[in-house]
Structure 1
Amino acid sequence: MIDDLVRAVEATLFAAEAPMTPEEISRHLNGAAVKDALAELAAHYQGRGVELVERGGRWHFQTAADLAHLLRREKEDLRRLTRAATEVLAIVAYHEPVSRAEIEAIRGVQTAKGTLDVLMEAGWVRVAGRREVPGRPTIYGTTPEFLAHFGLESRRDLPGIDELRAAGLLDPVDDAYASLTAEGPADSAANGARPEKDGESA
């Protein structure tokens, strides 16, 4: 039998507008310990049409992955990521925290300010602080919303280059680029980044 606390956690998450941490749920329920209730709910919903999942330390209900196609909206997304934005998002995800200069050193091109703005507006990239070096450049990282959107529990679940290659997602140019990014961000942009070509900026 499901007890009142489990029901209260279930109702809280069902009504939530965004994924919630256990601490947020607990505060909403007058400080109640919710860890066991979350585990019980996750087990209860496992294998059902709607599942309770944890992404980046935040909990939310989502449609079961094998049923998502039944609810997919036909309306096209009004904003699609450009190639430049996709590259920048990948660099941030694999190298965070990373500065704009480091992003440009890896890509080999200057990054338009609007590219990072688009990713932050989408809620996938955030300002993670400043690098403790001369000039104290801003550094960027991903968000819990990024993990939730791509169905990742943590950054450890990001696919490796071998997995991307095996899936046929890397053409020769992308393959070379991915190999470069796997080596880690360059120490600086001292080598000089070429300007982005038309159509590469966000």
Structure 2
Amino acid sequence: MARRSQTEDLFDTELADMPPELRWREWMGRVEAVIFASSEPVGRAVLARVVGRDCSIDLLIDDIRAELRGRPYELVSVAGGWQHRTKKAFGVAIRTATGVGARDDKALSQSESLVLLCIGYFQPITRAELGQVFGKEVSRDTVGHLRKLGFIAAGPRSPQPGAPYTYVTTSAFLSQFGFETLRDLPDFEKLEDAGLLSKDRLLAGEIPITAIGEQDDPPPPDLSDEA
């Protein structure tokens, strides 16, 4: 276990000597600084380390959000924590100036999107069970690509014969698609209403799940670190 530095030992979280208004402003600054400095969503337990025991993290976040309303970035709730993100309205300006976002390295094909969506709804689920949902085998390449992107990981072993691995979504999946928890996943009816998914086409086998390397049957992904 790493030893705390003397500075950390002396870090004053309560700020009892400060007037209440100044104390609140200092807590706001600390919380925003921690979130700003992190490349990943920051959870409540981490933020609680820099504020007083009776401080309401939620009220602090509300006040920070209020101050950011006129800014090109905002504080969003995602993957069980909070993260600074630029507002979508400025996406074109960012791409024009820097090229960032012009090519999405995590873009998914329709097949991959549907497999990922299915894992999100029915996890933990095996590759064979995914095949049963779609009426055809889901390739190891498809599953392997989703794992490489960090959107899914190996879950618990299934109680089925042979104890195959199951797959579950990750916090990176929540973060990438702007979900705070899995409860934020839209239901199938809403997806159909939005024209994003047709359950009839899915059940009829019209969605080409086999399009990605299915026939080659490549070796399974390395799961040695997750046994």
TM-score, normalized by length of structure 1? 0.73
Residue 59 (str. 1) matches residue 82 (str. 2): yes
Asked if structure 2 preserves the Cα contact closer than 8 Å seen for 1:128 and 1:138, the reply is: yes
CA distance in 2, matches of 1:4, 1:148: 28
Provide, for residues 98-150 of structure 1, a one-character-per-residue CA deviation record: whole Å limited to 9, x for no partner: 11111111122222222222112212112222223443322212122212221
Question: In the aligned structure 1, how far is the partner of 2:192 from the partner of 2:130?
Answer: 22
Q: Which has the higher contact order (CA 8 A, sep 6+)?
A: 1
Greater than 4 Å deviation, 4+ residue runs: 30-34, 177-180
Q: Which runs of 5+ in 2 are unaligned?
A: 1-20, 215-227
The code of the aligned residue for 1:176 comes to D
- Tell me which moved more, 34-43 or 100-109: 34-43
Q: Pick from 147, 151, 172: which aligns with 1:124?
A: 151
**Partner Cα separation in structure 2 for residue 136 and residue 91 of structure 1:** 21
- Confirm or deny: 8 A CA contact 1:96 1:142 kept in the other structure: yes
Instruction: State the secondary structure of the residue aligned to 1:61.
Output: strand
1:33-71 per-residue CA deviation (whole Å, 9 max, x = no partner) reads 662433432343346421111112121011123333432
| Preserved contact between residue 151 and residue 170 of structure 2 (Cα < 8 Å) | yes
* 1:152 match: secondary structure: coil
* Structure 1 unmatched runs, 5+: 181-195
Paired residue for 1:41? 64
Which residue of the other structure, out of 97, 119, 132, is the alignment partner of 1:105?
132
Q: Distance in 2 between matches of 1:124 and 1:12?
A: 25
Q: Quote the residue 1:162 is aligned against.
A: 189
Aligned to 1:15: 37
Amino acid at match of 1:66: A
Q: What is aligned with 2:169? A: 142
CA contact (8 A) 1:99 1:139 kept: yes
Which residue, 189, 196, 199 being the options, matches 1:175? 199
SS at match of 1:54: strand
For residues 161-194 of structure 1, the C-alpha deviation after alignment (integer angstroms, 9 at most, x for no partner) is 3322222334xxx4324568xxxxxxxxxxxxxx
Task: Return the letter of the residue paired with 1:50.
Answer: Y
Corresponding position of 1:201: 213
TM-score, normalised relative to structure 2 = 0.66
Cα 1:46–1:65 shift into 2, 3 Å: same
Q: Distance in 1 between matches of 2:203 and 2:140?
A: 25
> What amino acid maps onto 2:165 in structure 1?
T
C-alpha distance in 1 between matches for 2:114 and 2:182: 16
- Given that 2:43 and 2:81 are in contact with CA atoms closer than 8 Å, whether structure 1 keeps it comes out as yes
- Percent identity, aligned pairs only, is 29
Provide the residue aligned with 2:217 in structure 1: none
Kindly indicate whether residue 95 of structure 2 is the aligned counterpart of residue 68 of structure 1: no
The secondary structure found in structure 2 opposite 1:164 is helix
Three-state SS of the structure 1 residue aligned to 2:179 is: coil
Give the counterpart letter for 1:65 in structure 2.
K
The structure number with the bigger radius of gyration is 2
